[in-house]
Structure 1
Amino acid sequence: MVSTVHSLAFAPCAASLSRVDSPFLDCVSDDLALLLAQAGVDDVRTPFASRWKFCLIEDTEGPPRLNLPSRDQDAWLATRTGFAPSWRDVGGDPAAAVLSWHAELREGRAVLVVGDAFHMPWLPYHRNEHMAHGFVVEGIDPQSREPVLHVVDPYHNATAYGRATPVTVKVGLADIAPALGEGSWAVLDRIGDPTPLDVPHQVATNAEGILAAERDGSFARLLDGHTDLDRDALANLALQVWLLVRDRSLHRLWLVDERAALRRIGLEDLAHRFEADLIPAWRRASEMAYVATRRVQAGRAAPRSVLDAVRAASEQETAVAGWVVESLRSAA
């Protein structure tokens, strides 16, 4: 592939990898956190960790899915940080996209790129599974034959093909081009000043939302959508409860960060309730869903106890939310 750039362009961000909550974020969210850190945002946890929600995406294409990460994440980031990603399609021309990335890097803005993990050599998914995956380009080096991309990937996950851990790697455009054909990319735009988060209001909103999800049947519909326990249903259920383990674990970190504010409203035990009751319940459901998935793959019946584990975790959600609401009422 012919080089389209003629000078080194660099917007370094790898030094901020340790600030990203990689074990608890999906691959695009952790890239956005890294871009926020590179843009000078001091707190890159709160924008991703402060909401505790249970919202379903329900359509005719399969069983219910959780709205995680939330579809309004970009708008939420704009409110909380003053920055929002502006997305563009690669448009089937990776070389032209690289030229645009080069211009952004020269302006000091690292680039978030989403493509097909099957063609990303540094990932366990490489040549194993097609799935959308995001990474960050922090530099482009115009070598003699083709541009070399300096990639930073904060992703952290134990996959079926091995463990993915945060990495920095150099990759030639020809090696990564197959991943980019139908991909997209973004940089952060400054759109205004951030709005400070009202912690007591956010905590109350979170708890009330969980109780509303119980009342409108969202927890029940998640279970009802997976009662067949066939291969597809179990694969989806395993993914949803895995997402919940990571999301609730991240929220607990934020609760620990805000312990002083929680103490002032009588909720100093909230982080402990997550750690002792809620997260272990979802972790048990996740483990059982994984085991059930493996049993079905081996041609055996899935134990229906996996549904009981999900139900028990759902009950912990509403129990903790109910405690929050009652505690706030008592303190008012």
Structure 2
Amino acid sequence: MTTVLPQDAAAAAGPHPLPAPQVRAPLLDCLQANLAVLADRHHGPDTHLRLGAVLRFAPAPRGPGGLPTVEPTVAGQLAAAAELLGLAVDEYGTRPPGTAADGAAEPAYVVADAFHLPWVPYHGHKHVEHSFLVEAGADGVTVTDAYHNDTPWGPARPLRQVHAPGRLDALLAELPADTVTVRLSARPPGPAPAPVHEPADGAAIDAYVRAYADHEDRVLALERFTLETWLLARARHLHAEYAAHLAGGGRGEAVRAHLARWDGVVEHTYLAYRRVARGRAEPAGLFERAGEALRADAEVFGGRRPEDLQDEVRAVVAAVLHVSEDALVVGAGGFDGDLSRLPEFGSMRMVEVVERLEQRFAVEFAPEDLMPENLHRVADLCALIRRSPAAR
């Protein structure tokens, strides 16, 4: 007679569920969701809403299929976590995480192909970047995944599961070699930033929408645009929730109506994609509707005034140079605006200013713009930020 030990029975039964993480998961994308869990763990509930502090439309010019995209990158989301959530990267590697001998105090933040992850509906169906947390403990290895979405293969909902170490080790060992594993630690997050919307340029909106409307592969274009509108809508819901959270009140009627408009764009896009994928006619009016929603953002959310941007840039420069912000106002004490005339300024400080501004505003300056003559005045730095796309 074979005796079944309790641990053997637990392993045979599969992962053991724990209470799900409590974050505003329906507002977050698949990379943000588990950074949100870490932020709230270290700094308190709703810290993760800070990810909605800045709303901008700055698509990268060429993504999959040569189409422009607002899809975030791991590097971009980690930069936002450092700037807004008080989470600093201690280790970053391209490798599957280990668990059995892992005694790290902090969980591993992992980004892998969801095709290989059995707890998400994409498993075995779709290749897509997806994050989760892995944390070794006395009772096994805990996987946390705060992702919330409805997919063609079923709903994804936030979860925490305790796995037997051996079983999870085998699963993680089979993940692709380009799996990203990151260790983050807590830093003081600083005061909550004011919510800011940076209005999009009309020509940029037209070019973005036209690229999808005119692409010759309609199935590819609409499949990609389904993801794009989903990301755009979530970013606007998150921004509105953060603003309401800071104000201590609810969303106004104009904001609620605008978010409903964005939800309608997402539904329209998915309907169009499904019909074209099945060989049916493409519904009309989608891209006009999306362009109108992008333009209406400015009416609903307002925009960052030029003087506000200048104040923020001046604050970053002052922090790097260890001088007062007042000392960087043109005309103050004879200052003519040229930072290179200050004894505190030099090539090393100039590079630090660039790096901090890229982090603070989640942008990536174009290589051709990084000329010394463009980096010596607050006004010139503001101009660089305005024309720079989001960090990729």
Greater shift after overlay, 48-57 or 70-79? 70-79
Of 104, 123, 128, the match for 1:126: 123
Q: What secondary structure is seen at the aligned counterpart in 1 of 2:234?
A: helix
Distance 2:94 2:72 in 1: 25
The reply to whether residue 169 of structure 1 matches residue 161 of structure 2 is yes
Aligned mate of 1:89, from 93, 109, 118: 93
Alignment match of 2:39 (pick from 36, 40, 59): 36
The DSSP-based 3-state class of the residue aligned with 2:21 is helix
Residue 214, structure 1, aligned to residue 217, structure 2:
no
Secondary structure of residue in 2 paired with 1:136: strand
Compared with structure 1, are the counterparts of its residues 69 and 318 closer, same or farther at alpha carbon in structure 2 (3 Å cutoff)?
Answer: farther
The aligned residue for residue 136 of structure 2 is 139
Instruction: Give the Cα separation in 2 of the matches to 1:323 and 1:91.
Output: 41
After TM superposition, give the deviation of residue 150 of structure 1 in Å: 1.8
- The Cα of 1:69 is off from its aligned counterpart by 6.7
- The code of the aligned residue for 1:187 comes to R
% of aligned pairs identical?
Answer: 27
Q: How many residues align?
A: 282
Amino acid at match of 2:155: R
Q: Secondary structure at the match of 1:57?
A: coil
**Deviation digits for residues 231-256 of structure 1 (CA, Å, limit 9, x no counterpart):** 11111111111111111111221122
1:288 aligned residue: 268
Change (3 A) 1:169 1:46: closer
Output the CA distance in 1 between the equivalents of 2:124 and 2:236. 31
Q: 1:181 aligns with which of 165, 171, 177?
A: 177
Match of 1:7 in 2: none
Q: Secondary structure at the match of 2:184?
A: strand
Q: What CA distance in whole angstroms lies between the structure 1 residues aligned with 2:237 and 2:286? A: 21
Find the aligned partners of 2:154 and 2:250 in 1 and give their Cα distance.
Answer: 37
Change (3 A) 1:35 1:234: same
**8 Å CA contact retained: 1:245, 1:282:** yes
TM-score for both structures, normalised by structure 1: 0.75
2:146 to 136, 142, 154: 154
Match of 1:98 in 2: 99
When structure 1 is superposed on structure 2, of 62-71 and 123-132 the one drifting more is: 62-71
Q: 1:232 to 1:85 in 2, by over 3 A?
A: same
Q: By how many angstroms is 1:77 displaced?
A: 2.6
Which structure is higher in RCO with an 8 Å CA cutoff and minimum separation 6?
Answer: 1
- Does 1:196 find its partner at 2:191? yes
Q: 1:129 to 1:198 in 2, by over 3 A?
A: closer
- Given that residues 88 and 184 in structure 2 are in contact (C-alpha distance below 8 angstroms), is that contact kept between their aligned partners in structure 1? yes
* CA RMSD in angstroms, aligned pairs only: 2.8
Are residue 80 (structure 1) and residue 84 (structure 2) matched? yes
Distance in 2, matches of 1:57 and 1:250, equals: 21
User: CA separation in 2, counterparts of 1:113 and 1:198?
Assistant: 27
Could you tell me which of 236, 253, 256 is aligned with 2:244?
256
Measured against aligned partners, the alpha-carbon deviations of 1:182-201 in whole angstroms (never above 9, x if no partner) come to 312112224x53331342xx
Q: Is 1:54 matched with 2:54?
A: no
TM normalised by structure 2 equals: 0.64
Shift of 1:227: 1.4
- Aligned partners of 1:27 and 1:155 also within 8 Å: yes
Gaps of 5+ in 1: 1-13, 143-147, 261-267
> Partners in 2 of 1:91 and 1:227 — Cα distance?
38
Q: Which residue of 1 aligns with 2:283?
A: 303
Q: Secondary structure at the match of 1:248?
A: helix
| Contact 1:114–1:183 (8 Å) recurs in 2 | yes
Q: Secondary structure at the match of 2:118?
A: coil
Do 1:47 and 1:77's aligned partners in 2 also have CA atoms closer than 8 Å?
no
Among 242, 245, 264, the residue aligned to 2:230: 242
